[in-house]
Amino acid sequence: MSETENTQPDSATPSYPTQGERIAPGSRRDLLPNNYDAKKARILFVHAHPDDETSSTGATMAYYAQKGAEVYLLTATRGELGEVIPEELHHLEVGKPGCRDNGEALGEYRTGELAGAIKALGVKKQFFLGQEPAVAEGTLPLYRDSGMAWGPEGKPVANPVAAEDSLTAQPLEPQAQALVAAIRALTPDVLVTYDSDGGYGHPDHVRVYEIVHRALQILENDEDRPILTWGIEGEFDAADQRLQAAIYGDGTAKRKAMEAHRTQITVVDEKTFEYSNKVPQKISAVETFRVLDGDPTATVHPKPQEAGLVASLLTGSILGIFAGIAGSIYHAWVVYAGDTALPLGLLVAYLTVFFTALWCALSLRRGYAAAVVAVAVFVTVYVLGYGRPDSPFVLVNPGHSAIGLYGALWWFGAPVAAMLGMLVYTRARVKDAQYFSPRAAHQRARTKK
């Protein structure tokens, strides 16, 4: 965040927003959609330079990583034009004695610092714009830091001599398409970036917001579009009607990540840090955001609850007994088409068992409930066939007569019909799981509006 054009003009003291100082009424305490399990969530943070992820969202990133979410980080540039704090590293700063490049060495050094920071924050994967998966036609393999200068009111202004391959000098569309590619590869549920002002006005931060905004336009109602997109809150505005989220994150992890960015940040004590301009700032564990896209208040119906083991065994057994008795009543019913006997009763009996097993599995949301029906039907027909050998209700004797053949087919075929019901349920369960996934439910809620 400390990048400047190295010939800084006389100006007022640089001004940065203070994090976590103002919490709006009705503020949320979660960036995730309703009914979302953090352990199944993916969050993509999109930042401009190494160290921005830590100073702006470090406590939040660590908080969600600790809750089990997959946290990803896309960094647009390598921060080649940043000022360097340690004297022994001043030769890396563009414009300082000993610097013989255009910031490439500093960018490489800051990439190493970033690796240490994301380890402290628990980030699963970090990548740069122009690297896989953030690659598209027309995307440069590397975008240079655009730099900036401090204006007379202590606000950032554009660097008039930004390099041709800098982030702000290059066209927006390929950059947005690269972000779209990354979103489709990672399918994040939530995306976090800057607000339209870039947080504090750095040109690269504003461009990153524009990249995200354009990417969301490209995705429209695409199923890969993040459910929610949040912008890092800059100066608190009481007139801002957008929903605020205030995350009480991990300040310790944030401070440790700050220590990794030693070229850019000096950790003064447990509560204070400074950039190269020596302006003291609070290390805040509270980070606030404003919703940019999506509806955090949308209510979706959670996945129906599955029945327990006892309920499944009891229900499957009772239904299997009734299906076995019902099928045994009409399994031997025969309809003649001329001289041809059609075992219509046997077909109806099979269908009775099949739909009983399928309904049982679907209603209980347990596939093995259909297997319980199969066992119950098998036992029921056995009892009806052999419980009274002198006058069986079901004659199971293929060599005795046609009725005996139908009885044997009924006894052995009924469990097969039940297991077919289980097979159908298993196939339906895959689509069912996709339909009732929190992501799919929230996407349906979005498209209905």
Q: Residue 71's beta-bridge partner residues?
A: 43
Q: What is the pLDDT at residue 292?
A: 97
**What are the tokens at 76?**
């647009």
Q: What is the pLDDT at residue 448?
A: 62
Q: What is the pLDDT at residue 437?
A: 67
In this structure, the strands spanning 125-128 and 70-75 are parallel
Q: How many CB atoms lie within 10 A of CB 388?
A: 10
Residues 6+ apart with CB under 8 A from 322: 356
Number of alpha carbons in the 13 Å side-chain half-sphere of residue 320: 31
Domains and CATH numbers, the chain: 38-293 (3.40.50.10320), 309-447 (no CATH)
Where the chain has pLDDT below 50, the residues are 3-11
Q: What is the pLDDT at residue 139?
A: 96
Q: Residue 257's beta-bridge partner residues?
A: none
In this structure, the strands spanning 125-128 and 148-150 are unpaired
